[in-house]
């Protein structure tokens, strides 16, 4: 790091705290690094195994759920790399022990992660739903209903784009974004976009920046949406499974998918709780690191 004499801190320390610019306090930095690398490695190994079995052993064609699985891996990998870069620029350290430039870089990668989070989550959930539809493909109405649910999931993500965004170019000007894509909402989350990591670096993601939306509320909306989607994925197969005579292999597949859905739902509920608990914080690089780990 730079010497203390030339060091411009990102924030003032809390009362009674003495910053150490040379050796910042490792609150979650190492845990973040380990979690990100571990999850990306495991995800890639499972994805590679799935592709190998599909293309080499079974020599089957790629179906729609397989392509959504590919999209999920690409988007989630990109999201994980954003988390790694956020950690590189100080996530897990106290914000007052970071340089102003490092914190701006951190916010830049945080912004990029917000662009990827919902598309990655959507691709993952649709992939799971399509796999469930494949299991129940002998029942055409059930399979069709699940595919319709995929469309419903897409519609569920659209209200995020319908949020009213005030662009402070003129005090009286209010622009309402059409509900097109999650990306469009995030692109206009600040006006101009650069204020996300410039003005916010000395203000807050909690609404203090007049040129940006309240990021804490947007994070909460993302989590509530994820809870609804994960609950549907978890509960939907249960009555279908109980009403059918299935082989042991099929039952194991369903149990595995339900277990994944249950663990994901638990993590998202905890993440929502932590969002309300942590984001009204003056030490965002420590508080948000907990959310990154849960993501």
Q: Which of the residue ranges 4-18, 70-84, 223-237, 246-260 has the most confident prediction, judged by mean pLDDT?
A: 70-84
Q: Does 198 map to a domain?
A: yes
- Supply the pLDDT for residue 176: 37
Q: Which of the residue ranges 67-76, 120-129, 154-163, 212-221 has the most confident prediction, judged by mean pLDDT?
A: 67-76
DSSP state of 14: P
- Supply the pLDDT for residue 34: 93
- Section 216-223 average pLDDT: 78
- Supply the pLDDT for residue 116: 85
Helix (H) or strand (E) holding 25: none
Q: Does 256 map to a domain?
A: yes
Q: How many domains does the chain have?
A: 1
Q: Does 135 map to a domain?
A: yes
Q: How far is CA 290 from CA 83, 103, 204, 236, in A?
A: 12, 17, 18, 30
- The larger pLDDT score, comparing residue 87 to residue 207, is at 87
Segment 112-149, tens digit of pLDDT? 888 888 888 888 888 888 887 877 776 777 778 778 88
Q: Does 1 map to a domain?
A: no
Q: Does 2 map to a domain?
A: no
| Residue numbers of the domain that contains 93 | 25-294
User: Could you give the count of Cα atoms lying within 13 Å of 195 in the half-sphere of its Cβ?
Assistant: 20
- Whether this model's pTM surpasses 0.95: no
The CATH number of residue 91's host domain is: 1.20.1070
Q: Does 188 map to a domain?
A: yes
Q: Which of the residue ranges 121-130, 156-165, 279-288 has the most confident prediction, judged by mean pLDDT?
A: 121-130
Segment 235-257, tens digit of pLDDT? 777 776 666 676 777 677 767 76
Q: Does 136 map to a domain?
A: yes
| Helix (DSSP H) and strand (DSSP E) numbers for the chain | 9, 2
Q: Does 62 map to a domain?
A: yes
- Supply the pLDDT for residue 238: 72
- Supply the pLDDT for residue 174: 33
pLDDT at 40 over 90: yes
Query: What is the 3-state secondary structure of 235-287?
Result: HCHHHHHHCCCCCHHHHHHHHHHHHHHHHHHHHHHHHHHHHHHHCCCCCHHHH
């Amino acid at each position: 790091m730079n010497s203390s004499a030339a060091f411009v801190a990102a924030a003032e320390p809390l009362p009674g705290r003495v910053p150490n610019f040379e050796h910042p306090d490792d609150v979650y930095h190492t845990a973040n690094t380990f979690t990100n690398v571990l999850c990306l490695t495991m995800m890639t190994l499972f994805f590679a195994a799935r592709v190998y079995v599909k293309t080499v052993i079974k020599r089957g064609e790629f179906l729609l759920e397989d392509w959504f699985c590919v999209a999920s891996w690409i988007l989630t990998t990109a999201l994980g790399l954003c988390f790694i870069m956020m950690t590189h620029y100080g996530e897990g350290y106290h914000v007052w022990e970071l340089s102003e430039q490092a914190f701006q870089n951190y916010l830049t990668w945080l912004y990029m992660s917000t662009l990827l989070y919902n598309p990655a989550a959507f691709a993952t959930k649709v992939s799971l739903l399509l796999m469930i539809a494949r299991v129940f493909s002998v029942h055409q109405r059930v399979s069709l209903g699940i595919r319709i649910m995929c469309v419903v999931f897409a519609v569920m993500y659209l209200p995020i784009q319908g949020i009213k965004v005030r662009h402070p170019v003129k005090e009286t000007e209010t622009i309402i974004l059409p509900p097109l894509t999650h990306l469009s909402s995030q692109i206009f989350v600040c006006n101009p976009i650069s204020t996300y990591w410039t003005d916010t670096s000395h203000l807050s993601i909690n609404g203090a920046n007049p040129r940006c939306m309240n990021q804490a509320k947007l994070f909460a909306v993302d989590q509530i949406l994820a809870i609804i989607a994960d609950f549907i994925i978890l509960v939907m197969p249960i009555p279908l499974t109980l009403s059918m005579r299935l082989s042991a292999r099929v039952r194991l597949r369903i149990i595995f998918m339900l277990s994944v859905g249950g663990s994901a739902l638990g993590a998202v509920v905890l993440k929502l709780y932590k969002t309300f608990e942590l984001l009204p914080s003056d030490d965002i690089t420590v508080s948000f690191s907990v959310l990154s780990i849960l993501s």
